Amino acid sequence: MTEAAPAPHERTASRRPRSHAAFARAKALIPGGVNSPARAFGGVGGEPIFFASAQGQHLTDIDGATYLDYIGSWGPMILGHRHPRVVAAIEGALATGTTYGAPTEAESRLAELIVAAVPSIEKVRMVSSGTEAAMSAVRLARGFTGRDLIVKFAGNYHGHADSLLVSAGSSAATLGVPNSPGVTAGTAKDTLVLEYNEPQQLADLFRSRGDAIAAVLMEPVVGNMGLVVPTAEFRAAIRDLTRRHGALFVCDEVMTGFRLALGGAQELLGIEPDLTTLGKIVGGGLPLGAYGGRADVMDHILPAGKVFQAGTLSGNPLAVAAGTATLEELRDHPPYAALERLGERLEAGFRRAAAEAGETVWIARVGSMMTIFFQRGRTPLPVTGWQTASQSDTGRYAEFFWGMIDRGIYLPCSQYEALFFSTCHTEADIDRTIAAAAECLAS
For this structure, is 306 an active site residue? no
252 is annotated as an active-site residue = yes
Rounded to an integer, what is the distance from CA 268 to the centroid of its chain? 17
Q: In whole angstroms, give the CA distance from residue 37 to residue 401.
A: 17
Q: Alpha helices of 317-443 — where are they, by DSSP H?
A: 317-332, 336-357, 386-389, 394-406, 427-442
> 293 has which bridge partners?
123, 275
Cβ neighbours of 28 (radius 10 Å) = 7
Q: At what angle do helices 394-406 and 427-442 cross, to 10 degrees?
A: 120
- Give Cα separations from 249 to 120, 168, 293, 314 (angstroms): 11, 18, 10, 24
Specify whether the CB–CB gap between 103 and 125 falls below 8 A.
Answer: no
The CA distances from residue 175 to 129, 279, 394, 415, in Å, are 22, 23, 11, 11
Residue 407 one-letter amino acid: R
Rg over alpha carbons for the chain, rounded to the nearest Å, is 21
Asked if 67 is an active-site residue, the reply is no
From 252, 274, 393, 429, active-site residue:
252
Nearest alpha-carbon partner for 293 in 85, 46, 81, 122? 122
Find residue 191's DSSP bridge partners: 150
Contact 371, 361 (CB under 8 A): no
- Name the catalytic one among 69, 70, 152, 157: 157
Of the residues 69, 152, 280, 416, only one is catalytic, namely 280
DSSP letters for 2-37:
PPPPPPHHHHHHHH-HHHHHHHHHHHTTSGGG-SSG
| Residues annotated catalytic, as ranges | 157, 252, 280
